[in-house]
Amino acid sequence: MPAQAPALSSRPYDLTGQRILLTGAAGGIGRATANLLANLGAELVLTDRAAAPDLLASLAGNGRVHSFVACDVTSPSEITALCGGVGAVDALILNAGIFPTSQWTDDPWDDDFDAAMRINVRASAHFARALLPAMKARGTGRIVMLGSVAAHTGGTYAHSPLHYAASKGAVHTMVRWMARRAAPEVLVNGIAPGSTATAMVATADPSALKALPVPRFGRPDEIAWPIAFLCSPGASFICGTTIDVNGGAYMR
């Protein structure tokens, strides 16, 4: 029998009643996303590698209790323990990532390549593997993965590192691979940000953006908006897509 379309919603972007787990919550995009999700009514389970005491205090409550759990995402056992203890979640946002700056001619490149793959790719797979089965069993869920424009272009800057672009290309592939296996109960999609004003690009030269149609860095909240959209009822027919949010740095 064909899957039934969800009921029409009069508030398609409202997240009231949703319980969402967000990784990389202490960073620039993570914080912006946490604040937006809370304002839209979600209850949040936040995680990052170290405690962020000010984060929970900054979030809108409105009768909901948000929580934070420190987790080293390079450790499969810590991911398993976290996911086993959080209970049911309606959406999983996989935002944790690193941007090592070493070049492939540098001595630490092998270690940095491995770290990029562990954190940007393997950790996301572990989170999804732990939480997707329960989402499918409940008959509903969303997974949003953070890719990058670098997966399309090889990097905005000439010195963009290979391991970062390669890891984000793997994330885009994982979105499509997982979407085919998770649907129709769970919708898996991605976001591919362009250069965004976070600590990750603190040393970047903004002059490289002058030729872009929108010649500036994106703001973290400009990435948070489409992330939240993919968790909302308004994205009920989007599956296996990676949305480009890059000010025109890449068009297709």
Would you call 164 a catalytic residue per the annotation? yes
Q: At what angle do helices 76-85 and 123-138 cross, to 10 degrees?
A: 30
CB 32 within 8 A of CB 221: yes
The pairs formed by 66-74 with CB atoms below 8 angstroms and a separation of 24 or more are 66/38, 68/25, 69/45, 71/23, 71/47, 73/23, 73/47, 73/49, 73/118, 73/119, 73/123, 73/126, 73/127, 74/115, 74/118, 74/119, 74/123
* Catalytic residue from among 13, 157, 164, 250: 164
Peptide bond into 184 cis (omega under 30): yes
Enumerate the active-site residues. 164
